[in-house]
Amino acid sequence: MRGLRKPWPPGDVSPDGQEARTWKQAEEAFLEGLPRATDRSAYARSTFDAMEKRKLRAVMYREQRGLCVYCERRVEEGRPTPRIDHWRPLSAAPELALHWRNLYLSCPTDTTCDCRKHDAPLRADAADADLPWPVEHAYERCVGFTSLGEAYVRTDAPLDDAQRQALVLALGVPHDAAVKDNGVLNLNHPALVAARVAALDSEKSRLERDYGNKTATRDDRIARAAALLDGTPLREFISIRVRWLERSLGRAR
């Protein structure tokens, strides 16, 4: 999970062959009709489903630089097609159905991310606010990783108590004989943990290839991390790669 910028929605959200309509026009028309809806969540869902999703995804790929907003797997059109997630779910916040800052691309993996989350809010208690949108919070400063590829909430994360509890609940804990799928997003699923380790191994191999018998200095490693972050698209599991280069991985349990 990382913070990101969402500077602009697509210019036209109408299906091909229909009269062009801007995102602002669509959102204004939706909000005008929402108070009259008998079932606000159903109205929100049907309105959103009428959007030309391909045009939305085209912009989101650029915003998220090719990665799932949650797990940082690669997302690409038709491999299979990524899901458009409502960070604050329509069941709780139907008024945000067409709010651009509430929409993010998620990988379509059955056991993690949006498929796992579905309509669950990203909070620990019903009385709490949802976790801030990634456009409001730098989650790369909050989520740490162990050398075994496990994700956890950093002790120095800039979060209040409610947000910390919500993020812990969202990530879930590593699986073992007694604990399987867990957490709102299930981001410690064994497949993800293994993929992060593979990303680490790849980064180590690249460093060894480039430096051979020499030792990369801290400045060298920081420069490599910065170069990774400048790339578009970003490499899969970019956050654990950067953490390793910065020598800030946590200890495995």
Residues 69, 70, 74: CA angle, nearest 5 degrees: 65
Calpha distance 239→54 (Å, rounded): 27
pLDDT at 251: 64
Cis peptide before 233 (omega within 30 of 0): yes
Which residue in 165, 163, 41, 28 sits closest to 92, CA to CA?
41
Instruction: Report helix, strand or coil for 49.
Output: helix
What is the pLDDT tens value at each position of the chain, 253 positions in all?
Answer: 999 999 889 888 888 888 888 999 999 999 999 999 999 999 999 999 988 899 999 999 999 999 999 999 999 988 789 999 999 999 999 999 999 999 999 999 999 999 999 999 999 999 999 999 999 999 999 999 999 999 999 999 999 999 999 999 999 999 988 889 999 999 999 999 999 999 999 999 999 999 888 888 899 999 999 999 999 999 999 999 999 999 877 665 5
Phi, psi of 71 (to 5 degrees): -95, -15
Beta strand extents in the chain (DSSP E only): 83-86, 103-106, 143-145, 151-153
Letter string b/e over residues 98-128, b meaning 16 or more CB atoms within 10 A of that residue's CB: bbbebbbbbbbbeebbbbbbeeebbbbeeeb
Query: Over the Cα atoms of the chain, what is R_g?
Result: 20
179 contacts: CB under 8 Å, gap ≥ 6: 173
Query: Which pairs from 80-85 meet CB under 8 Å and 24+ separation?
Result: 80/108, 81/57, 81/108, 82/57, 82/106, 82/107, 82/108, 83/107, 83/108, 83/113, 83/114, 83/115, 84/53, 84/56, 84/57, 84/60, 85/113, 85/114, 85/117
Q: How far is CA 105 from CA 11, 17, 68, 139, 150, in A?
A: 18, 25, 6, 16, 22
pLDDT at 250: 66
pLDDT at 216: 87
181 contacts: CB under 8 Å, gap ≥ 6: 111, 116, 172, 175, 189
- What is the 3-state secondary structure of 155-171? CCCCCCHHHHHHHHHHH
Which residue in 134, 253, 248 sits closest to 193, CA to CA?
253
